[in-house]
Structure 1
C-alpha cells in the first residue's frame, strides 16, 4: 500500500531525524547548500511568474516544484530538521544528543544560507545584466518585498514583530507538514501531491520562511532596495528562524510523536453504576490483520 499510517509515519520521522544527526559534516553541508539553492531558484521562478502574468496565485501554485525537487533528491532545509532532529533525541536514539541536534541545525543553517546567497548573487547579475543596468521588473519586485517585510514590520513596532513571528510559526507548520506528508506515501506521485498542497498554501499566504528569506533579502540589498542588513536581521531573519522552530516542532513534530509514538493508555470501558471491565479480547480476524501489517521501513527525507 502507498499510504503510511500515522504510527509507522512517526517511526519514519524519528529514523530520519536520527540519520540527520549522525550524518557527516561534509554531507550535511552539501545537502543543505543544494537545498537552499534549489528553494531560492524556485522562489525566483515563482516571483517571475507572478510579476509577468500579474497572477500571484499562479506563482504560488508553481513554487512547490523547488521544494519537491530538493526533497526527492534528499537535500535538507533548516525548517525540516527543526522538526525531525529533536524527535530522535526525545526517542533516545543512540548518538542523538542535545549537542548533536544543535550541530545539525547549525550546519544546515550555514549550508542553506550559502546556497541561497549564491543564487541571490547569480540572480542579481541576471536581473541587471551584470550590474550594468537598472534591475528588471522582477528585480524591483524582489526589492519591494524586502522593504515591505523589514521596514514594513518595523513601522508597527511590537505589533509588527508579533505579526512577523506568527507568520513564521504558521509557515513552518505548513512546510513541516509538507516534509512529513512526503513520508506518508511510498509512491512518487503520492509524495509529490502530499508536499505540493501545504507548500502552495504557505507561499500564497505570504508566511515567513527563513530559507526563502535568505534569498529574497540579500537579493534586495544587492539590487539597491531601501532597507539595511540590520533591518533584515532584526526585523526578519532572526524572528523568522525562531518562529519556524516553534511552528514546525510544536504543531507537527511533537503533536504526531506524542499522539502516535508515545500514546497515552487507552481508556477502559465502564459499565453502568461506575464499575469497570477489561476491554473485549480482539477477534481472530483482527489479530491476523494486525499481524499482516508491514513493519516500519526507515527512510531518509
Structure 2
C-alpha cells in the first residue's frame, strides 16, 4: 500500500464518504461516540490547565506548550475514534454536494453537540471527585476559575470571532488528518493547528463545556484574586452561544464550503 498522503482532491472525497457514513449511523452509536469525544476534549483541556497553572513559565511558553498538550483531545477523537461537533461541521461539504439533506446534517449536529456536552460534564464531575484540582497547593483550581471567568466575560462579538477562528483551525486539523495514512501522519497533522488555536486564545465550544463548569464548581473553594461576578450559568451561556455560532461558521462555511467550491463546484463548471 502506498504511504503517500492523500491529495486535497482525494481528501474531499474522503470527507464526502465519511460525512455520509456519519449521518447514517444509528442514534445510539452516534450518541456514544459523541460522549467519548466530549470527554476526550475535556482531557485535552485538563492537560492544558496543568501547564497554564504553572506561574514559573513565561506567557508564550504556557500558551504554546499548553496548546501542544491540548492537542491530545483531538488526537484521541481522530485516532481512537469519536464524533466531535466542531469536526462534524465539515459535513457541510456533503450537504453542498447534496449527498446529505439539511435535516440529516442538523440532526447529526444536534445529537453530537449534546452528547459532547454530556461527555464533557461527566468528566467534570469525575475530575472534581478525584480531587485533581488540589495539586500544587490548589493552583490548578485557581487556573480553572480564572480561565472560566475570563471566558464568561468575553463580549459577544469577541467570543464569536474567537470561535470562528478556532474552528477554522480545528477543521483544518481534521482535514489534514484525513490526508494521512498512518497514526503518525494524523498526529502530526493535528498538532500544529490545534497548538495555534489554543496559544492564540481562540474559543472551542466543547472545551468550554469542560473548563467553565469546572470553574463554577471550584469558584468558592479557593481564594481567587479576581472578581468572579461573571462566572455563572448565565455567563456560561453568554460564552457558549456566540462561540458555538462562530464554530459553525468557521468550520462549515470557511473550511467546508470553501473546499467544496474549490474542488467540487469549480471542477463541475470546468468539466461541463
The answer to whether the Cα contact below 8 Å between 2:39 and 2:119 also exists between their aligned partners in 1 is: yes
Corresponding position of 2:179 = 184
Structure 1: which 5+ residue stretches go unaligned?
A: 154-159, 268-301
The answer to whether the Cα contact below 8 Å between 1:49 and 1:59 also exists between their aligned partners in 2 is: yes
Change (3 A) 1:128 1:14: closer
CA distance in 2, matches of 1:109, 1:43: 17
2:61 aligned with 1:71: no
**Aligned length, in residue pairs:** 253
Normalising by structure 2, report the TM-score. 0.87
Deviation at 1:30, TM superposition (A): 0.6
RMSD between superposed Cα atoms in Å: 2.0
Corresponding position of 2:207 = 212
2:124 aligned with 1:124: no
Q: Which has the larger radius of gyration?
A: 1
Between 137-146 and 223-232, report the one with greater CA deviation: 223-232
Deviations 1:149-169 (A, max 9, x none): 112x2xxxxxx2211111010
Aligned counterpart in structure 2 of residue 260 of structure 1, from 252, 260, 263: 263
Deviations 1:133-175 (A, max 9, x none): xx82111111111111112x2xxxxxx2211111010000000
Q: Secondary structure at the match of 2:53?
A: helix
The answer to whether the Cα contact below 8 Å between 1:124 and 1:139 also exists between their aligned partners in 2 is: no
Normalising by structure 1, report the TM-score. 0.79
Corresponding position of 2:223 = none
Deviations 1:233-263 (A, max 9, x none): 02x0011110000001122111111111222
Corresponding position of 1:251 = 254
Between 70-79 and 52-61, report the one with greater CA deviation: 52-61
| Structure 1 residue runs of 4 or more that deviate by more than 6 Å after TM superposition | none
Change (3 A) 1:8 1:120: same
Corresponding position of 1:88 = 94
Corresponding position of 1:298 = none
Corresponding position of 1:221 = 216
CA distance in 2, matches of 1:86, 1:254: 6
Aligned counterpart in structure 2 of residue 105 of structure 1, from 99, 103, 109: 109
Corresponding position of 1:27 = 29
CA distance in 2, matches of 1:68, 1:82: 17
Deviations 1:18-65 (A, max 9, x none): 111111100101101001101101111111023235341222222112
2:174 aligned with 1:167: no
2:195 aligned with 1:200: yes
